[in-house]
A and B are shown apart, each in its own frame.
Chain A
Amino acid sequence: MTLSSNSQPLISLRGVRKSFGAFEVLRGIDMDIRKGEVVAIIGPSGSGKSTILRTINGLTPINEGTINVGEIKVSDPKLDQVKLRHRVGMVFQQYNLFPHKTVLENVAMAPIQVLKQPRRQVEERARKLLAEMRLPDKANSYPGELSGGQQQRVAIARALCMEPEVILFDEVTAALDPEMVKEVLSAVRKVAEDGMTCILVTHEMGFAREAADHVYFTDKGVIVEHAPPADFFTSASDPRTKEFLSKVL
């Protein structure tokens, strides 16, 4: 957050629109996210927060507008998918680990198979990441043998192992039991503190307040307002934001 705010943004969205059938989920989204920034997107369910994340790594194609990640134009039909996924990692609400692969394989397989990096080097990195996620002894376990919190930390290690520039966190604590939320949030916080650019969709207002550099509030497919958390949570100006905050805080 101390990075000069006039530097070129790493990620920028301009006039992004997306419809599913007749339902317009995103109705003109503009965002700028700089390198190293931690951005939280909050808002009522169905407001399009998750869709914003999924458009950034191309999981959801957009109908209108432009999205740029570094020099990559995401909406380009000739987009190099592997290059984009190399730069943008993602962690899902339901972890989505591969159940037939061990924890180590889950973390290491994509850099080996997709990025064609040497196995030994990747596995070494994967073990280091598992240690950082406080799962050093779980490398040979299967996902089904781990708790939800542990699985989500494996998923974070898996995203990190691709050595991305930005990680998208899609409601990563929403499927967890309350006692596991904290361990996952502290893992996310560690990733953010190590300088990773993070975009989080979250319902954890306390976490957004503490960890984010910038908070976006979405409602009905538009960004209603955005501000640093200190301002956002104390002096929200829009009535929709006020109403939402009064419900969740």
Chain B
Amino acid sequence: MTSINLFSQILEWMPFVLQGFALNILMSLLAIAVGTLMGTFLGLGQLSTLKPLGIPSKLATQLFRNAPWLVLLFYCIFLMPYQVNIGGVVIQLPSWLRATIGFSFPVAANFSEIVRGSVNSIPRGQWEAAEALGYSRRATLFRIILPQCITRMIPPWMNLYALLLTATPLSMIVGVEEALGRTQAAVQAQGDSRVLIPMYLALLAMFFFYTWPINRLSLVVERRFRTK
């Protein structure tokens, strides 16, 4: 009887935790979008033969790729203003949004490396053939090399997304009310030590059942493109 009570008690808290998990998903989707966009520019910058473009891109990529995500998160949370004033319009920057920006930096740096790596994985003969046909370096990159890279970039990009999602609970440390923070709060509120393990198991299950299919899919995609 008590185990049924325990179960219904935990179930009661699930919407609360799931709402937190929705924030994890929202943060991860925004961060992957922003990070992919920034990473594309950084990656193309890394490939540039222009030194004023190449060197800063390489530096930024290495810096954000090798810094702990939590440290970058702290920077964004504590160094960014709480609100910004754009042409008289005051925009609030809640901590979850600042955390999202914090996550997009390491995502950008990792995606920058994905772009650079996939471009470099295209055989040199493709560049030479294009050059012999009169294509400039830039036209070769955009018309011939990058279209071939996109399929190669998808699997590592999906893995990066999965990694990002599993990193979002770090934002709890800086006060974002996401799934982990809410689980902790729910456990404390119930004041019952027996719920501790099932509550955290439920949290684990949320992350697992969201991330696992993405990893499986990336494997399938990788296999499909490899045989082509």
A interface vs B, CB < 8 Å? 57, 59, 81-82, 85-86, 89-90, 92, 94, 96-100, 109-110, 113-115, 144, 158, 162
Contacts and interface: CB of A to CB of B under 8 A. Distances in A.
Given A59-B128, A92-B128, A94-B125, A110 B147 contact: no
Given A92-B125, A99-B148, A144-B228, A85 B132 contact: yes
A219 to B, nearest CB: 25
A114 B132 contact: no
B144 A98 contact: yes
Interface in B128-165: 128-136, 139, 143-144, 147-148
21 contacts: A59-B128, A81-B136, A82-B134, A85-B131, A86-B134, A92-B128, A92-B129, A94-B123, A96-B125, A96-B128, A98-B130, A98-B144, A109-B143, A110-B133, A110-B135, A113-B139, A114-B134, A114-B139, A115-B134, A144-B228, A162-B133
Interface centre among B126, B132, B136, B144 (most CB of A within 10 A): B132
Contact of B134 (A85, A92, A144): A85
Interface of B: 123, 125-126, 128-136, 139, 143-144, 147-148, 228
Given A85-B134, A109-B143, A115-B134, 14 more contacts: A57-B132, A59-B128, A82-B134, A85-B133, A90-B132, A92-B125, A92-B129, A92-B132, A96-B125, A96-B126, A100-B147, A110-B133, A113-B135, A114-B133
B161 to A, nearest CB: 24
Nearest to A110: B133
Given A92-B125, A94-B125, A100-B148, A59 B132 contact: yes
B123 to A, nearest CB: 8
Contacts of B133: 85, 110, 114, 158, 162
Contacts of A115: 134
Interface centre among A57, A97, A110 (most CB of B within 10 A): A110
Pairs of residues from A and B, 6 with the lowest C-beta to C-beta distance, nearest first: A85-B134, A96-B129, A110-B133, A96-B125, A114-B134, A90-B132
Nearest to A98: B144
Contacts of B130: 98
A29 to B, nearest CB: 20
Nearest to B126: A96
Contacts of A59: 128, 131-132
Contacts of A92: 125, 128-129, 132
Nearest to B125: A96
B151 to A, nearest CB: 8
Contacts of A81: 134, 136
Contacts of B126: 96, 98
A114 B135 contact: yes
A90 B129 CA distance: 8
